[in-house]
Amino acid sequence: MNRSFCKNRRHFLAQNALGISTLGLSTLLSRDSLLASDGGAPEKPPLEPPQYDLVPKPPQKEPRAKAMISIFCGGGPSHLDLFDYKPLLDRYDGQQIPGREIKYDNAGQATSIVMRTPWKFSKCGQSGMEVNTELLPHFAEVVDDVSLIRSMQLPNIRNHVAGMRAMTTGRGREGWPSLGSWLVYGLGAPTDNLPAYVALVLRRNPPGAPFWDARQLPSIYQGTIIRETEPRIANLDPPSHLRGGPQRRQIELLQQLNQQHLEQNPGQNDLAARIASYELAAKMQTAAGETLELKGETEQTRRLYGLDDDSTRQMAEACLLARRLVERGVRFVQIWDYSWDMHENIFASLERRCGSVDKPAAALVTDLKQRGMLDETIVQWGGEMGRLPVVQDRGEGRKPGRDHNTEGFSIWMAGGGLKSGYVHGATDEWGHRAVEDVVTQHDFHATLLHLMGLQHESLHITHNNQPVHLVESGQGSVIDKLIA
């Protein structure tokens, strides 16, 4: 190999100012194998290393879903106040919880005083699913499209960062690929002008972020962050002095260098060592701008999501954008809303949060269904924990809250081959521990992979001569009861 050429080529790629973000570019680099040849794929040499790209791949088995949208409510929404009504909390409100060992995260502020929920729960829809209809009136209207899991549990995990890692990577410790990365690694994506995996972060990054990293997987599988404010995608657009003709000339020069590299190294297919056609980069610059522009949505859609209401606008924009991304071929979209950690003044805090999220989240399910997309799109809502049935006291003059609870909590999912109007599992009579049809993060991930047409046992990458899986061997299984 011509070392001088490679050095100059690398320098050019490192210094060019086309404005493509590294995450967006990594998505586009994977397409090079299709664009650099003049016909079908070249014949592979016998011992060719694995090829990593985002070209759509056939699933390992018949899929029920083709895309997923996750609304991750970081901090721990209180299942006891939203999805899992417990009459005993009414009966023992303000009293010591009888004969119960509570697993506290913060023992210094812990009490054993029972605290009821102040809101009304009602049975909703044809399914009769019982939820808090005062805080979640819009969710109550879509319960017949939803599977509500009341028996989530994260064994041996107490805090937020470990919990969010477990729910997104399968492990409570740092350093493993995210669920979204595994999905695009296993399936690729239909789009060639948008990222295959997008993270929409509201307000601020959650503690311990990024939870959208590829880690042992090649970097083309990591999530691309879309922010709330401009620039929505970092470094996507070129500076003004390079737009138009200068950008076109840089593209043409890069194509010449790329072609020269291929001619000097015939048959080389290692995508990590090649650079894609910047024609695709230009496509992304155009496609991303069009996708992020919501003004063209109908007035009916804007009202459905609450796009023009200050209280719901933030989540409405995220949910509507998630629909638009999936509609255009993005495989996995995760909305990060870290605002549900309520150690004090929980009732006022819950009222505010639900008022901003309930309508847009329910609208996403309704909108996908109206468009015929829900059957092939999984929507998931929930966090990394729930809350305890007893008071957390943070001191004089401070209103009570609830401490962390990873022993039993609720999430909901809809679409993509899941049962509708179905409640899975249960916690004990206090809502403290999952006791019936317990679902761990490993079961959750195994089921999602199954719905997307992937086998959790065989989906892996070899790293340092060791197989790495999302679901470690023997740790999880597909939850057949959730599947329609």
Asked whether the beta carbons of 432 and 406 are under 8 A apart, the reply is no
Q: Tell me: pLDDT of 121 over 90.
A: yes
* H or E element, residue 146: strand 146-152
pLDDT of 478 strictly over 70: yes
What the block records as the tokens of 377 is 């799109």
- Provide the CB-side half-sphere exposure for 41 (13 A, CA): 9
More confident residue, 394 or 277: 394
Question: With 80 as the cut, is the pLDDT of residue 50 above it?
Answer: no
- Residue 397 banded pLDDT, cuts 50, 70, 90: confident
CB 211 within 8 A of CB 169: yes
Half-sphere exposure of 477 (CA within 13 A, CB side): 6
What average pLDDT does this structure show over 306-314? 97
pLDDT at 271 over 60: no
Residue 365 has pLDDT above 60, yes or no: yes
pLDDT, tens digit, 9 for 90 and up, residues 174-225: 999 999 999 999 999 999 888 899 999 999 999 999 999 999 998 889 999 9
Q: Does the pLDDT of residue 18 top 60, yes or no?
A: no
Residue 23, pLDDT score: 45
Lowest mean pLDDT among 7-16, 87-96, 349-358: 7-16
Instruction: Give the pLDDT score at 132.
Output: 98
Lowest mean pLDDT among 75-79, 177-181, 234-238, 342-346: 234-238
Go through the domains of the chain in sequence order and give each one's CATH number.
Answer: 53-244+299-482 (3.40.720.10)
Query: Worst-scoring range by mean pLDDT, 81-85, 258-262, 455-459?
Result: 258-262
Tokens of 325: 């991304």
Q: Tell me the percentage of the chain whose pLDDT exceeds 70.
A: 80
**pLDDT higher than 90, residue 445:** yes
Interval 421-434: pLDDT, tens: 999 999 999 999 99
Give pLDDT, residue 17.
42
pLDDT of 361 over the 60 cut: yes
Q: Cβ neighbours of residue 304 under 8 Å, at least 6 residues apart?
A: 363, 366, 367
What is the value of pTM for the model shown? Answer: 0.86
Cβ(383)–Cβ(363) below 8 Å: no
Mean pLDDT, to the nearest integer, of 379-400?
A: 94
How far, CA to CA in Å, does 376 sit from each of 96, 228, 326, 360? 48, 27, 10, 20
Q: What is the pLDDT of residue 384?
A: 98
Q: Over 80: is that where the pLDDT of 250 sits?
A: no
Range in 5-14, 159-168, 452-461 the model is least confident about: 5-14
DSSP letter for 328, please.
Answer: T
56: cis peptide before it, omega within 30°?
A: no
Residue 21 has pLDDT above 90, yes or no: no
Give the residues across from 130 on adjacent strands.
Answer: 123
Cα angle vertex 271, ends 265, 273, to 5°?
60
